[in-house]
Amino acid sequence: MAFFDPKLPTMLQIDAARTQGLGFVLLQKHGDYWRMVQCGSRFISDTESRYATIEMELTACVWACQKCRIFLAGLPHFDLIVDHRPLVTILNHKLLSEIKNPCLLRMCEKLIPYSFTVSWQKGAAHQIPDSLSRSPVCEAVPDRDADGVKADFVHETVIAALETSCTAEDGLPLAQVVDPGLEKVYAAASQDPEYSSLKHAIIQGFPDHHHQLHYVIQPYWDVRHMLALDDDMIVYGARLVIPTSLHKEIVGCLHEGN
């Protein structure tokens, strides 16, 4: 371990292990050697366990920067090292206005106070944060406080109030408030093999090459970084992805509106 020196080259390595945890290590270069300043790990929350891979990795970035805030906030520059290549494009080259996924956008906004350049390195060279993420120590951040959590607190509060105040004819509280239109989408999604395959790819992470995908979901390859899960449904940015079995019906409804 070494004391932090703002004049030395600084590097923050992060990693996320699905179903396990997040890990990071803050390093500074002393001569020819990188010495550790701080490290940490924590379990992931129930909500985070359902994140797409890119959301999980970005959550690790935000959490690590916040844990090292006393060192990194105000630092002219540091290197942020990841082993998930899509983060390089999002964090180095995209404007906030170009990020359509609400979850990713909220997390990127949390990184505004920090000045860094993201670099990718292969997993074999990412040993310290990888080991920490696979052996987490600290408890998970509560879902309502988790960085990038999809469920907005105000939205949850309103729904909870509706569920409490709305009553059925017999005077008993209704079990839940559900959009009737969404019920059909939920039902169709649960029976759609293509939808299930796409959800699996989002959860487990897309492969490195297009041809490694099942042929039925290869058309989603070019937009894979924009896909995420929200309440067990697939979303593309702020838009809901409709199961194939409902495409004709939805198009018909749109035509009727015209």
* pLDDT over 50 (residue 156): no
Confidence of residue 161 (pLDDT cuts 50, 70, 90): low
Pairing of strands 233-236, 239-240: antiparallel
Higher pLDDT, 19 or 170: 19
Task: Using CB atoms within 10 Å of the CB of residue 237, give its burial: 0 to 12 exposed, 13 to 18 middle, 19+ buried.
Answer: middle
- Tell me the per-residue pLDDT of 52-107, one tens digit each, with 9 for 90 and over: 889 999 999 999 999 999 999 889 999 999 999 999 999 999 888 888 888 899 99
Q: Length of the chain, please? A: 258
- Tell me the per-residue pLDDT of 192-232, one tens digit each, with 9 for 90 and over: 999 999 998 888 888 888 888 888 899 899 888 888 887 78
- Tell me the per-residue pLDDT of 24-37, one tens digit each, with 9 for 90 and over: 999 999 999 999 99
Confidence of residue 180 (pLDDT cuts 50, 70, 90): low
Q: Which ranges of the chain would DSSP assign to H, the alpha helix? A: 53-67, 69-72, 86-93, 102-110, 127-134, 153-165, 180-190, 193-204, 247-257
- Residue 52 to residue 150: CA distance in whole angstroms: 12
DSSP secondary structure letter of residue 141: P
Please give the pLDDT value at position 27.
Answer: 97
Number of C-beta neighbours around residue 219 at 10 A: 11
Q: What is the pTM of this model?
A: 0.60
Higher pLDDT, 188 or 63: 63
Question: Tokens in use for 32?
Answer: 């020819």
Mean pLDDT value across residues 175-197: 77
Question: Tokens in use for 104?
Answer: 């990713």
Average pLDDT over the chain reads: 82
- Residue 255 to residue 242: CA distance in whole angstroms: 17
- Residue 28 to residue 257: CA distance in whole angstroms: 61
Instruction: Show the domains of the chain with their CATH numbers.
Output: 10-142 (3.30.420.10), 179-257 (no CATH)
Nearest to 86 by CA among 65, 102, 108, 68: 108
Please give the pLDDT value at position 183.
Answer: 80
Confidence of residue 141 (pLDDT cuts 50, 70, 90): confident
Please give the pLDDT value at position 5.
Answer: 93
User: Is residue 147 classed as helix, strand or coil in its secondary structure?
Assistant: coil
Q: How far is CA 175 from CA 93, 126, 229, in A?
A: 45, 47, 24
